[in-house]
Amino acid sequence: MAYEQRRGGGARLLIGLVIAGVSVATYLSRRTTNELTGETQYVKLSEKQEVALGLSSAPTLTRQFGGATADADLARYVTRVGERVASRSAAAKTKYPFTFTVLGDRKTVNAFALPGGPIFITEALLSRMTNEAQLAGVLGHEIGHVVARHGAEHLAKADLTAGLVGATVVATSDPDSPGSARAKAALAMATAQLISMKFGRDDELESDRLGVRFMAEAGYDAAQMGEVMKVLKAAGGGKTAEFFSTHPDPDNRLERIAAAVKDLPKGGELGEAEFRTNVLDKRGDAPKAIDEAPVDDAPLPRREKSAKETTTTISQLPDEARETLRLIATGGPFPYDRDGIEFKNREGRLPYRPGGYYREYTVPTPGERTRGARRIVTGANGERYYSDDHYETFSRVAP
């Protein structure tokens, strides 16, 4: 019996080695050089197959996010910006037919690309930007995924991973101990996932570099790519935003983006007015100006002192507020479930910004059994405001 087990184990090992060898040989046979990036890649699909795959997958992905936006003007605007980036940059040298779709999802902060050219961005992410250059940066990043053929690379890596995992399962399986085989297979899969995660992070960093390059070549201010990272981090409100489930954390990318921008010409368009007209003003959440209110015999409402008119230093804040700022800087954990939710600025006491721009956090009040009236409100670009009267007045916290 022991002999038969040893012979069976040897046969399984041999079969596993054959499967692994075929998987590796197949993967290596897919070697090619990317004409745009100059990098050596292993890709499963031809460019035509990438385009066909992207076109066939796009409808399913669109449905998963509630469909395309119902705002045709918004869709045309984003397409116009995307086509400018694609046509005025090195991406134009490729043969990919880029398309740009705005998804009607106002909760999921994300953007992504399919192989072959389809690019998507949610209304939730759009609403958190402040200018057209930031939009160009996100679209340029996703264009980078397409031209760098990351989708085709991952399909080839997935085939290799599946082959190696299968080889490990065959070689290590014990028919008399199925639990042990399952454990070994799970370990092999976990190892494979770690390898794939590393590749994914490298892809994102490469797309950052390409996105900065493409937006600059299209005439936009490339420094706004760094601002995009800050906006996205703030969108998480101390938690993990959906964007970062498919993209590395921005803290690991800001330095590299800054280095890429440093080598490019300074300046470029921001497109603030165009973005406000085509995106921000259409959401209808800007506070109505006093001089637009109907005229009657009632006195105009008293204007509270705004955060622009008063400032305070960190040292002037109460100890509890300084502790709240520390928690915000480190990402928590926060004492209250509602810490990090959106502050909607309904009364217009803070400067107008698009929906999702501000986040609020509790400053505990000694002796209070509830959250009390003290708050810290943060802005997507690093602003910090303190209120000790439940949003009636604010002071801007100096850096």
pLDDT in tens, 84-128: 999 999 999 998 999 999 999 988 888 988 888 999 999 999 988
Measured between alpha carbons, how far is 12 from 209 in angstroms, rounded to an integer?
A: 46
CA 380, 330, 141, 223 torsion-angle sign = positive
Number of residues assigned to the chain: 399
Measured between alpha carbons, how far is 236 from 342 in angstroms, rounded to an integer?
A: 10
Is residue 103 domain-resident?
A: yes
Partners of 122 in the β-ladder: 103
pLDDT in tens, 29-41: 456 666 666 676 5
Domain boundary among 274, 290, 320: 274
Is 50 exceeded by the pLDDT of residue 234?
yes
Using a 10 angstrom Cβ sphere, with 0-12 exposed, 13-18 middle and 19 or more buried, the burial of residue 398 is: exposed
| CA–CA–CA angle 372, 377, 378 (5° rounding) | 155
Is residue 13 domain-resident?
A: yes
User: Do 264 and 348 lie in a common domain?
Assistant: no
User: Do 107 and 238 lie in a common domain?
Assistant: yes
User: Do 250 and 386 lie in a common domain?
Assistant: no
pLDDT in tens, 246-271: 455 555 677 788 888 887 877 789 99
Phi, psi (rounded to 5 degrees) for 380: -65, -25
Token pair, residue 86, equals 């694609």
* Structural domain containing residue 392: 303-399
User: Do 268 and 309 lie in a common domain?
Assistant: no
Let me know: does 107 contact 124? Beta carbons within 8 Å.
Answer: yes
Measured between alpha carbons, how far is 233 from 249 in angstroms, rounded to an integer?
A: 8
User: Do 265 and 307 lie in a common domain?
Assistant: no
User: Do 93 and 32 lie in a common domain?
Assistant: yes
Does this model's pTM top 0.75? no
Is 90 exceeded by the pLDDT of residue 217?
yes
- Average confidence (pLDDT) over 144-169: 61
Provide, rounded to the nearest whole percent, the portion of the chain with pLDDT above 70.
Answer: 65
CA dihedral angle for residue 337, residue 339, residue 343, residue 349, rounded to 10 degrees: 130
Is residue 291 domain-resident?
A: no
Is residue 119 domain-resident?
A: yes
Q: Which residue has better confidence, 280 or 119?
A: 119
Measured between alpha carbons, how far is 231 from 249 in angstroms, rounded to an integer?
A: 12
Cβ neighbours of residue 344 closer than 8 Å, sequence gap 6 or more: 285, 355, 358
Q: Which helix (H) or strand (E) holds 273?
A: helix 272-275
Query: Could you list the active site residues?
Result: 360, 390
Q: Which helix (H) or strand (E) holds 22?
A: helix 2-28
User: Do 107 and 178 lie in a common domain?
Assistant: yes
CA dihedral angle for residue 47, residue 50, residue 51, residue 56, rounded to 10 degrees: 160
Is residue 249 domain-resident?
A: yes
Angle between helices 132-147 and 72-87 (to 10 degrees): 60
How many structural domains does the chain have?
A: 2
Phi, psi (rounded to 5 degrees) for 253: -120, -20
Is residue 283 domain-resident?
A: no
CATH number, domain at 322?
3.10.450.30
User: Do 248 and 307 lie in a common domain?
Assistant: no
